[in-house]
Amino acid sequence: MTGLVYGRLALVASTMLAVAAPASAVSTDGDPVLYWNQTFLGGLPYNPGQQRAAAMLNIALHDAVNVSLGRPNYGFLGSIGSAGGDVRAATSVAAHAVLVQLQPSRTAEFNTALSASLALVPDGPAKAKGMANGAAIATALFANRADDGQTTVVPYTPSGLPGRWAPTPPAFQPAVQPGLAVATPWVMNSPDQFRAGPPPAIDSKAYATAYNEVKTLGINVGSTRTPDQTESAQFWAGAQGPGPWIKAAIDRAEATGTSTLENATTFARLATGVGDAVIAIWDTKYHYDYWRPVTGIRAGETDGNGATDGVDNWLPLIFTPPHPSYGSAHAAVSGAAYTILADAFGDSGNFCLTSLGVTRCWGSFSAAAIDSVNSRVWGGVHWRFDNDAGFAMGQSVGAWNVRADVFGAVPEPASWALMILGFGVVGLAARRRQTAATLSAER
């Protein structure tokens, strides 16, 4: 996206739309890809491991759907399991195995979801094969990602130099997850594949421009923000990581009636695209090690830039995340998610999300993405150039993910017809939204 289009979107994104409330919950007998993503989200706040869990969950779901439909060669993990079996049984066992290992504190919740899902599938060879395939896929996935480095502890010590990151007030927490900067990507070739160019020097005019913008807009008390900008900053402070975008995708898939196979592809792309965007932005963050606005503004009198007047006790509206500023993770995640979802569903279409008790609505995925990007300046935790770099990076990561097509294309209508005949499934062409019961290869 060019800077011109970005600017136009930025003007639109902060305007709220009077549209319908978010879609209702996916029922247990609904699409299993949507159901297990909804179960995963569970209304819980973001945690640092969420993007890895989302990617692993959706790889497992993708491969379980494809092997059940006789497409094991389309699996991300390669050909795992035996072609055929019940889709609901395969996806439920695979999803459950992934989630209980990554989030063991929620085991009881996931056990209940598994029991409810499997109760919908009649006992027999199809159910048994589906369950076996789901278990095999989960096992292969954990083996595949055992040494991905996403949970590796990497030493990091702030330099204390001007322009470099330092722990930020009021908590002065240590830097979070520096190891993500060298983690194994999902679809990208390497963490530095989309590394941003350098940020402005702190004695430059570009830095002074960004400095004075966030100093005025982002301060906690006495800001020139509008009420809507304040709400946006607070909303997106709670709506972090892949969660809000997964919820948006669930609602859009429910509304448009996409098939289980289409959903498996879209959600795998979305979750791994967001996961790679986080790795890519972490590479940029720790490569440049740039200070946050709260640090820079408090040091404005000593930064060597005559256009930056410092404020000793300046504080932002929202809490500053404990990691380097350049570039913005919100912007990278939003850029990747918007790119992937617009490719899957088209960009236009009203939707709403709720965070911290506040519901915001937009007319497109891009408008929501730009709202997220702008919110970080309005909240006082990012420079404008952090957002520009992060958003461009996220878009590149998302486009790469779609073009790479590692999750396999959804068959054309003619191929669907052949698949229907081959599996003996009656009535599949009559409706696009399919539950696993109607997609069984051996029923």
DSSP 323: S
Q: Are 142 and 11 found together in one domain?
A: no
Give SS3 for 219. strand
Question: Is residue 441 included in any domain, yes or no?
Answer: no
**Model confidence pTM above 0.85:** yes
Q: Which of 380, 328, 326, 331 is nearest to 213 (CA)?
A: 380
Q: Per residue of the chain (443 residues), what is the pLDDT tens digit?
A: 333 233 333 433 333 333 334 456 899 999 999 999 999 999 777 787 899 999 999 999 999 999 999 988 899 999 999 999 999 999 999 999 999 999 999 999 999 999 999 999 999 999 999 999 999 999 999 999 999 998 888 999 999 899 999 999 999 999 999 999 999 999 999 999 999 999 999 999 999 999 999 999 999 999 999 999 999 999 999 999 999 999 999 999 999 999 999 999 999 999 999 999 999 999 999 999 999 999 999 999 999 999 999 999 999 999 999 999 999 999 999 999 999 999 999 999 999 999 988 999 999 999 999 999 999 999 999 999 999 999 999 999 999 999 998 997 655 444 434 333 333 222 222 222 233 323 333 33
Question: Is residue 155 included in any domain, yes or no?
Answer: no
Q: Are 358 and 290 found together in one domain?
A: yes
State the first-to-last Cα distance of the chain, in angstroms, to the nearest integer: 47
pLDDT recorded at residue 23: 55
Question: Is residue 443 included in any domain, yes or no?
Answer: no
Range of the domain at 88: 32-148+411-434
Half-sphere exposure in the Cβ direction for 354 (13 Å, CA): 10
Domain count, the chain: 2
Give the number of other Cβ atoms within 10 Å of residue 442's Cβ.
17
d(CA 373, CA 88) in angstroms, rounded, equals 37
Query: In 231-240, which positions are buried (b, 16+ CB within 10 angstroms) versus exposed (e)?
Result: bbbbbbbbbb
Question: Is residue 439 included in any domain, yes or no?
Answer: no
Helix axes 260-288, 384-404, angle to 10 degrees: 140
Task: Identify the CATH number of the domain in which residue 40 sits.
Answer: 1.20.144
Contact of 129 with 443, CB cutoff 8 Å: no
Q: Are 86 and 199 found together in one domain?
A: no
Task: Identify the CATH number of the domain in which residue 267 sits.
Answer: 1.10.606.20
Contact of 61 with 121, CB cutoff 8 Å: no
Half-sphere exposure in the Cβ direction for 179 (13 Å, CA): 13
